[in-house]
Amino acid sequence: MTTDVPVHKPVPGSVDIDVKVPVRGVAVIEIRRPPNNFFDAALISLIADIAHTLASDNDTRAIVVASQGKNFCAGADFNSVSGAAQISADEGARELYSAAARLFASELPLVAAVQGAAVGGGMGLALAADFRVAGPRSRFAANFSRIGLHHGFGMTVTMPRIVGTQYATDLLLTGRNIDGAEAFRVGLVDRLVDDDAIRDSAILLATELATTAPLALRSIRKTLRRGLAEAVATATDHERAEQAWLRATNDFAEGVRASADRRTPTFIGR
């Protein structure tokens, strides 16, 4: 595997996503909504589109999903117009999870470079990858129960698959934060490196994948992930239905307000 001069592939019509080829065979899809890199359905759909386009390009053999700025992804922004418009309505959630299922169905291996926080749906995005590279200061939280909402992004399937049912139950019910060291200890993170080396280490792992026989790589990965995209599609149908009625509750409204105010919410069970 030879190292090339980095190649930049601008994404037409988008300032939120950038694609670079730092090493032959490896593409880096970078989310550019710093510092928190909140997503909406359009952003996830664009990532899925790019992943599928790269899979049809024989020059690309592995993908790194990275983000610009302090955090990998803080999920959906309930306080922004774009975030709320995309996911507060049931149809918006349907669009989002349809895009997520397409991302799971992409043919190339994905490595998530997780700096800072991967929270809520941002953690779900990280779990869509085959591998996660993080540092001691990386932070993971499926914080849905702490804002009065049901988890989404197929985490019903992905989290138990990666860390086991009991640990997944712990994280989903408590909504607690874990750091990179704990995430590595339980298998949520595959490589724990210095915080300033996360992206380079993710590219190094993707480069290792890209040196293998490409047809065999896709074949083995397809076998290992057999049925995953379909299971995620089924799971997100249920997750979306649960989210729909919970969004209408006082507890959800309080959870979102408390999160914006950086205070402990007061839930009343209504």
Secondary structure of 183-247 in the HEC alphabet? HHHCCCCCEECCHHHHHHHHHHHHHHHHCCCHHHHHHHHHHHCCCHHHHHHHHHHHHHHHHHHHH
Report the predicted TM-score, pTM, of the whole model to 2 decimal places: 0.91
Question: Residue type at 26?
Answer: V
pLDDT score of 66: 98
Rounded-to-integer distance, Cα 133 and Cα 111, Å: 7
Residue range 10-35: mean pLDDT, rounded:
89
Give the whole-number percent of the chain exceeding pLDDT 90: 86
- Is pLDDT above 90 for 26? yes
pLDDT score of 78: 55
Nearest to 102 by CA among 69, 67, 136, 53: 53
Residue range 190-214: mean pLDDT, rounded:
98
203: tokens are: 């590219």
> H or E segment at 27?
strand 26-31
Q: Average model confidence (pLDDT) for the chain?
A: 92
pLDDT score of 87: 40
43: tokens are: 């952003």
**In contact, 105 and 227? CB cutoff 8 Å:** no
**In contact, 58 and 23? CB cutoff 8 Å:** no
Q: What digits encode the pLDDT tens for the residues 85-142?
A: 434 446 778 899 999 999 999 999 999 999 999 999 999 999 999 999 999 999 999 9
Nearest to 48 by CA among 118, 112, 103: 103
pLDDT score of 51: 97
- Is pLDDT above 50 for 4? no
Question: Residue type at 35?
Answer: P
**In contact, 170 and 151? CB cutoff 8 Å:** no
pLDDT score of 45: 95
Give the whole-number percent of the chain exceeding pLDDT 70: 90
Q: How many CB atoms lie within 10 A of CB 22?
A: 19
pLDDT score of 80: 47
Q: What digits encode the pLDDT tens for the residues 162-186?
A: 999 999 999 999 999 999 999 999 9
183: tokens are: 């995430």
Domains located in the chain, CATH noted? 17-77+87-196+214-261 (3.90.226.10)
Strands of 68-212 (E only): list them.
110-114, 117-119, 131-134, 139-141, 177-179, 191-192
pLDDT band at 12 (very low <50, low <70, confident <90, very high): low
